[in-house]
Structure 1
Amino acid sequence: MHKTLIALVFVSSAWISTASAAENDMRPGLWEITTTSNLLKLVSQIPPDQMQMLMNLAKQHGVDIPPIQNGAATSNVCVTQKMADEKVPPSFYQNKSGCAAQNATHAGNKYTWDFVCANPKLKGNGTAEAVFANPESFTGRTDFEGVAQGAPVKEHADITGKWTSADCGAVKPPQ
């Protein structure tokens, strides 16, 4: 169960920042991205020592799991001017988690795309959507269906993003 949970946290975390470069009028700088889901609510049931092991495992695969509290994962993402101008989701965790974005579309303030995860621990398909209220905030969602660590998974997550500063400070843009 815990390994399945961490695989799904990868998926939820993977798309935390991808919506952040969707709108061409989006403000570059530091963004706070919050993802909530029923899956993330289960994290509180994992003993702290096991959660630390899972976080260390994720780090070995190049993924930093953001802090998770009360069913929400919050992370900071640096969006460069180039990323905002390109209107293309940054790669962020997709390649590291074995997931790839496809079929991206952009119309007005709405951005949608599909993603496919194909690796030994996580296989499946999903969709994502972001809608910008203005250049400094958006809401979105992801839906994923597949298999994680051999267990069937169907997960929905809601995402919000808000611009917090023109200066990213120590937060580096996604690679």
Structure 2
Amino acid sequence: MHKTLLALVLVSALPVSAAYSAENDMRPGLWEITTTSDLLKLASQIPPDQMQMLMNLAKQHGVDIPPIQNGAATSNVCVTRKMADQKIPPSFYQNKSGCTAQNPTHAGNKYTWDFVCANPRVSGNGTAQAVFANPENFTGRTEFEGVAQGAPVKEHADISGRWMSADCGTVKPPQ
């Protein structure tokens, strides 16, 4: 279960990038991104020392695990104007998780893309979508099927994002 949870957390970095896919449909600034899944609900069953070990392992792979509470991982992301204007997720998150986005499409307020993960930790493929209700709110979903740390994974996650402020404060945009 620990390997599977780590894999989901690594793949969960992809949903965060959904916030960037809107072309002029989102406000730049500080966004709160929340990812929920059945697998994240299991995180509460992991002893704190083992969870810290998983967080350290993820960090070694370039992924910061956001706090997980009640089956939800919530993080703050600083979105620049340039990022808000992009039509596809930035390579920062795909590179950090070892996955790449492909086949981005945009129809109205809905954005979809496929992603492929091909690395020693996680391999497989999935789909992602984001729908903007307005420039300050979106919801989305990812589906992933593959192998993580040698264990088969078939998981989905629901994502929501909400704009918090034009000022990102201490949160820096991804480099």
Q: TM-score range by the shorter chain?
A: over 0.9
Which residue in the other structure is 2:17 paired with?
18
Distance in structure 2 (CA, Å) of the matches to 1:104 and 1:110: 11
What is the CA deviation profile of residues 21-72 of structure 1, one whole-angstrom value per residue up to 9, with x for unaligned ones?
Answer: 1222210000000000001001111110000011111112211000000000
What is the CA deviation profile of residues 76-119 of structure 1, one whole-angstrom value per residue up to 9, with x for unaligned ones?
Answer: 11110011122321234211221111111111100000000111
Which residue in the other structure is 2:167 paired with?
167
Whether the 8 Å contact between 1:17 and 1:92 is mirrored in structure 2 is: no
State whether structure 2 residue 42 is matched by structure 1 residue 42: yes
Moved more, 16-25 or 155-164: 16-25
Which residue in the other structure is 2:149 paired with?
149
Q: TM-score, normalised by structure 1?
A: 0.95
Distance in structure 1 (CA, Å) of the matches to 2:132 and 2:162: 10
Which residue in the other structure is 1:105 paired with?
105
Moved more, 16-25 or 149-158: 16-25
Write the mapping of 1:18-167 to structure 2, written as runs, cut at 5 A: 18-23=17-22, 24-167=24-167
Structure 2: runs of 5+ lacking an equivalent = none
Write out the 4+ residue segments of structure 1 that deviate beyond 4 Å after TM superposition. Answer: none
Structure 1: runs of 5+ lacking an equivalent = none
Distance in structure 1 (CA, Å) of the matches to 2:157 and 2:14: 10
Letter in 1 for 2:43: V
Task: Work out the percentage of aligned pairs sharing the same amino acid.
Answer: 84
Q: TM-score, normalised by structure 2?
A: 0.95
- Kindly tell me the number of residue pairs found equivalent between the two proteins: 174
